Amino acid sequence: MLPFSTNPALATLPVYQPGRPIEEVARELGLPADAIIKLASNENPIGPSRLALAAMRKALTQVNLYPDGSAFYLKQKLAARLGVSPAHLLLGNGSNEVLEILGHALLAPPAGEIAQTGSGSAAAAVEVVVSQYCFAVYPIVTALFGARVVVVPARNYGHDLEAMLAAITAGTRIVFVANPNNPTGTTVPREDLARFIQAVPERVVIALDEAYVEFLAKPLELVSEVREGRKPNLLLMRTFSKIYGLAGVRLGYGIGHPGFISELEKVRQPFNINAVAQAGALAALDDTAHAERTRRNNQRGLKFYARAFHGLGLEFITSSANFILVRVGDGQRVFGEMQRLGVIVRPMGGYQLPEWIRISVGTPKQNQRCMDALKQALGKAVFG
């Protein structure tokens, strides 16, 4: 027992469980780290671009100095790339920090709602609407700020946008939609998403998580909705972790109405984007060849896994991201067996999908080794 009190919300707050790092598994199994492959955290298997690496090495010589707190040059380049102004951009220490900033700005009840309403009835609870099988951090952030999570049942493992719209109440502050969705890899039809965005009341913020949007062949173009001011309640959230391969330096961003962004900036920590991350991102934006190579590798990998799962008679969810979900029976057991073979994947019990594992797309060699390990774990004969 602690001799002091903590935030009551922490009593039931789950702890986010990331994919296991290679070094930890290597120590546990007594294997060299280079004998293990990690396909658990949706990382870029190609790595960062060479341009980004060179820029980050150069930035290391000045890490005794504080970074540019406004990330001036990165915002300028990113804004030009997106066709918006720097005032439309919020940078975060990973897109997870953008989620936390949203919580600070939106989930505390206004002073007038803390007391009883004029009619004598209690004020509406502060709520956040999410889809079943959503990214685990959405409910965690919601609970951290004492708000209520409204979980809408999934449709074919993806978002049921009509049901999510119907779940919005007077107390709803945020509705989270991830497209493509993590952990299922599903996407919503472009027309359905466009209708949903137009139908959500303007008093409710639509937090559209586009961490994997660069892997879509034809994503719905929504930046113009923000740029032209047609949807001031729309915040697009993106990251440098996936397509750009910069997960280790933590850099995400939001694209929103300048008035909304200026409010979010009030709760952003100073110097939240380190100098190495800024340098790497600046260079990565110029390396279009690296991004295209990542896309091609990902497309080949998804096709490889689809063929392999079909061959084994395994159910899987068609993915539009850089990972794929497959039903293997006892997901935790299969995860453990594969890990003993030096292949780290992600068990999905924490997402209420205990029969499934999630596999991040790797290089062709990694993908083949992963399938060999999966076949062994399932007790299947390896195809000759």
In 210-267, the DSSP E strands lie at 234-239, 252-255
Q: What is the pLDDT along the chain (384 residues), one digit of tens a residue?
A: 788 888 887 888 878 778 888 888 888 888 888 889 999 999 999 999 999 999 999 999 999 999 999 999 999 999 999 999 999 999 999 999 999 999 999 997 655 454 444 444 445 689 999 999 999 999 999 999 999 999 999 999 999 999 999 999 999 999 999 999 999 999 999 999 999 999 999 999 999 999 999 999 999 999 999 999 999 999 999 999 999 999 999 999 999 999 999 999 999 999 999 999 999 999 999 999 999 999 999 999 999 999 999 999 999 999 999 999 999 999 999 999 999 999 999 999 999 999 999 999 999 999 999 999 999 999 954 443
- How much is the pLDDT for 362? 98
**Cβ-proximal residues to 352 (8 Å cutoff; 6+ apart), any chain:** 132, 133
96: closest CA among 135, 69, 151, 48?
135
- How much is the pLDDT for 111? 54
Residue type, 79: A
- Residue spans of the domains in the chain: they are 9-48+289-376, 50-286
The CA distance from 300 to 375, in Å, is: 20
The H or E element containing residue 367 is helix 364-378
- How much is the pLDDT for 123? 57
CATH architecture of 50-286: 3-Layer(aba) Sandwich (3.40)
Find residue 235's DSSP bridge partners. 207
- How much is the pLDDT for 150? 98
In the chain, the DSSP E strands lie at 37-38, 89-92, 127-131, 148-152, 172-178, 205-209, 234-239, 252-255, 316-317, 323-327, 343-344, 346-347, 356-360
Max CA separation in the chain (angstroms) = 75
Q: Which residue has the tokens 């897109």?
A: 95
Asked whether the domain spanning 50-286 has the same topology as the one spanning 9-48+289-376, the reply is: no
CATH architecture of 9-48+289-376: Alpha-Beta Complex (3.90)
Cα-based angle 111, 112, 113 (whole degrees, multiple of 5): 90
Q: Which residue has the tokens 């220490």?
A: 93
